[in-house]
Each structure stands twice: as C-alpha cells, then as structure tokens.
Amino acid sequence: MQQGAVMTVRIPLMLAACLLAPSALAQDKAPAKKLFCWEEKGQRVCSDALPAEAVNAAREEISATSGLRTGGVGRAMTEEERAQAAIESQQRQMDAAAAETRRRTDAAMLLSYRDENDLRRVFNERIAIVDNNVRTARYNTVSLRDGLVSLLQTAGNQELGGRPVAPELAANIRQRHAELVRTRRLQHSFETQRAALDVEITDIMQRYRAVKGISADAIEEAAGQTPASTRK
C-alpha cells in the first residue's frame, strides 16, 4: 500500500440503511395504530382512544392503516347476566353428569334382561294403566258432552217458549261445561302420556339391542322372517 493512499471501507447496504435511518426501524417496531368503534346513544362512534364510559360497551377494533376490522369485544355482562350464565353453566354440567349416570345405569339395567320379551313385560303394567286412563277420560268426555247438549236443548226450548231459563238449570249448564273442559284437558294429558310412553319404549328397545349387539337381521329371524341379507 502506498503511503498517503485513501482507505476505502465498504459497508453493506443493509448496515448502511440501519446506520442512516435508525428511526425507520423504530417505526417498524412500533405497534400499529387502531381505531375503536362502538354504539353510543344510537350513534356509531369511532376514536383512537377508548373513553372510560365505553370500556364495557361492545366494540370493533379497526386498523388505522388499512381500515380493516382486526378484532372486536362484546359488551360486558351485567351482574344479573353473569349470575344467570353461572347458573346455566352449572345446570349444563349437572345435565351432562345426569345423562352420563343414566347411560351407565341403563347399560347395566338393560344387560340384566334375558331378551326383548322379558324387557317388554316391564312396560306392560304402565301401558295398561295409561290405556285405562285414556279410555276412561274419553268415555267421560262423551258422557259430559251429551249431558251438556241435553241441558242446552232444555234451556233453548224454555227460551223459545217465552220462559226464562231457570237459575238451577243455568247453574247446571255452567257446572257441566266446566267439568267437560277439565275432562278434555285430562284426556289430552293421558293421550300425551301414552304417546310419550311409546317413544320411551322404542328408545329403550333400541338401546337394549345396541347393548346386546342385536342386529336387524336377528330381529327379523326372531319374528320368523327371512333376514334381509339373504333375500334375493
């Protein structure tokens, strides 16, 4: 190297950029600004700062650079809503535990029956009771209706004959009508119970077959039919 020569130092472009513009890197590391938008007295309000009165309000977060939605926060629940949510959560846990207990109990219970006929006999008494209730309610409904029609005809004949309806007859009509309304409600309740019992029996039979591993072909064979898999 000659004396007095100038030494040239080559600095990589990236390093040069860092040295010349440190503020650019600092800007890149700075968090992106965002806007908060919420409802206030029926109006949509947006601001880059969230005031204290809007902390518990539902809001959207929007990028100040792109204008796109980047997130959101639901409104804070009231004390009553939090209490109700806690109750509902606890109820869901209790329901789930009850369902699991029922599943295990049912599985153990169903395995104790030898066959479907043995299981069906358990329901025979309930079916007989509910069927008897339905028949009795239907009979009482028809009887009360016929009696009410007869009383109304008598009252109508009195009015057509120019005579006032006797107070005793009017009282009997009101009483018979009230009894008919109650009996119809009772009949509907019994019929609903009967339909629900059919659904319950079907559900239990299906679970019994699943626990026992009984296939549809086996059920048909037990009924004296040809299994579907062997039909042509």
As a whole number, the mean pLDDT across the chain is 75
Residue 142: the pLDDT is 94
Q: Which residue ranges make up each domain of the chain?
A: 32-76, 77-112, 114-213
Region 131-146: mean pLDDT is 92
- Give Rg (Cα) of the chain: 41
Region 133-147: mean pLDDT is 92
- In angstroms, the Cα distances linking 217 to 113, 117, 201, 214, 224 are 20, 17, 20, 8, 11
List all residues 6 or more positions away from 44 whose beta carbon is below 8 Å from its beta carbon. 37, 38
3-state secondary structure of 129: helix
First to last CA, the chain: 104
Q: How far apart are CA 23 and CA 88, in angstroms?
A: 54
Region 175-192: mean pLDDT is 91
| Token pair recorded at residue 185 | 């409600």
Most confidently modeled of 19-23, 33-37, 89-93, 178-182? Answer: 178-182
Q: pTM for the full model? A: 0.46
Written as one string, the DSSP assignment of 178-227 is HHHHHHHHHHHHHHHHHHHHHHHHHHHHHHHHHHHT--HHHHHHHTT---
